[in-house]
Structure 1
Amino acid sequence: MSEIEQVTLSMGGFEVNSYVVHAPDGDIVVDAGAEPEKILGATRAPVAAILVTHGHADHVEALEFVRSETGAPVYMHPADAGGKVNDYRALEDGRALDVAGLGIRVFHTPGHSPGSVTFVVGHDQIVGDLILPGSVGRTDIAGASWEEIEASIRKVMPLWEEATRLYTGHGPVLMAVEELRTNPYLPPGLS
């Protein structure tokens, strides 16, 4: 059994989320974008790993500090590492990670960035900026693509169940069924 704790961080006038997954055998930090002391303050056990949903600065700015304080390995997709992050373990689509006694499925979900990934923890998904409250991640920036983000949403959506929560990079935790009903940016034919 695990618990996913949202840690909302302030970064240059806007908020970004980090998550601490309290797993059976330790904690897992997902996205270390800012305020590393606040992230580390949310941990309850030794940090077994640091996972990165995508390589944009608002999701990795505090990564090296968190890594140096914890000694935990970093996992991210190579398409987003590009000189920003060194010494990481490459994430692959469909791979199952066993970290801190917890099974986590990895899905490569490009669109907002070439190396965006979604982490599936039980029935829940840590989606980064793939899906946002009432929207999806920006596709008007370098390396982004509407066609890819639509395909990525179609890839993870079949896993959504009545109680599936979506842990986003910005904003509150979402209920997948509510987003299906109300989010006008989700691709047609998903509801």
Structure 2
Amino acid sequence: MADIEQVRLDMNGFEVNSYVVHGSGGDIIVDAGAEPEKILAAVRRPVEAVLITHGHADHVSALEAVLRETNAPLYVHPDDAERTGVEVYEPLDDGQELRLAGELIRVLHTPGHSPGAVTFVLGDDQIVGDLIMPGSVGRTDIPGASWREIEVSIRKVMELWNANTRLYPGHGGVIFAAEEVRTNPYLPPVAL
């Protein structure tokens, strides 16, 4: 199982997370919101890919610098690709399975906070971007967001949860799904 390292970034006083997935065959960077040097310092082996959970500026502002330094391909959902400022990318689709850095990553299209938002599933764990955050969910009062869609997306990712599932959000600390089900008022009650 891959080791997922959280890299907390400061974007003008606003905290955002990037993740470096240390796979058995290399590294993968997920989201590049700020401080490219800090993200790159967490890399242990060659970067095989850069993945984007969604195209909001706080998740892609350092993307061009990271791509330039790693020469890795970019993976993003087409509905958010334009927001990245990068023209060449590998498109992500719902249900797609990627074999990167020796790891199997399942892609779930999870719109609601952003039209092209995705969740990356690695074993029991999920990198959820701004879909779910500690005690909250992603904003739906911004252009392209939808409360109805975020509710559907939350239920979609929750179907895969078990008592050991960890969630890696775009903001805040890593959370355990079982704890979030008990404490997050935006999540429907389920038994894990």
Q: Flag whether TM exceeds 0.5 (same fold).
A: yes
Letter in 1 for 2:132: I
* Structure 1: tracts of 5 or more residues without a match: none
Report matched runs for 1:75-114 at 5 Å. 75-82=75-82, 84-114=85-115
Cα shift at 1:189: 4.5
Report matched runs for 1:64-75 at 5 Å. 64-75=64-75
Q: Secondary structure at the match of 2:105?
A: strand
Contact 2:182 2:189 in 1 (8 A): no
C-alpha separation in 2, matches of 1:177 and 1:65: 37
Contact 1:154 1:190 in 2 (8 A): no
Number of the residue aligned with 1:49? 49
Number of the residue aligned with 1:5? 5
C-alpha separation in 2, matches of 1:85 and 1:77: 12
Contact 1:76 1:90 in 2 (8 A): yes
Cα shift at 1:190: 3.6
Contact 2:54 2:116 in 1 (8 A): yes
C-alpha separation in 1, matches of 2:176 and 2:190: 15
C-alpha separation in 2, matches of 1:106 and 1:178: 24
TM-score, normalisation: structure 2 = 0.97
C-alpha separation in 2, matches of 1:160 and 1:141: 28
C-alpha separation in 2, matches of 1:105 and 1:57: 24
C-alpha separation in 2, matches of 1:11 and 1:26: 27
Range that drifts further, 81-90 or 133-142:
81-90
TM-score, normalisation: structure 1 = 0.97
Q: Secondary structure at the match of 1:127?
A: strand
C-alpha separation in 2, matches of 1:169 and 1:77: 17
C-alpha separation in 1, matches of 2:172 and 2:189: 25
Deviations along 1:68-100, one digit per CA (max 9) or x if unpaired, are 000000000000012532111000000000001
RMSD: 0.9
C-alpha separation in 1, matches of 2:87 and 2:113: 21
Report matched runs for 1:1-191 at 5 Å. 1-82=1-82, 84-186=85-187, 188-191=188-191
Range that drifts further, 47-56 or 79-88:
79-88
Letter in 1 for 2:38: K
C-alpha separation in 1, matches of 2:72 and 2:48: 6
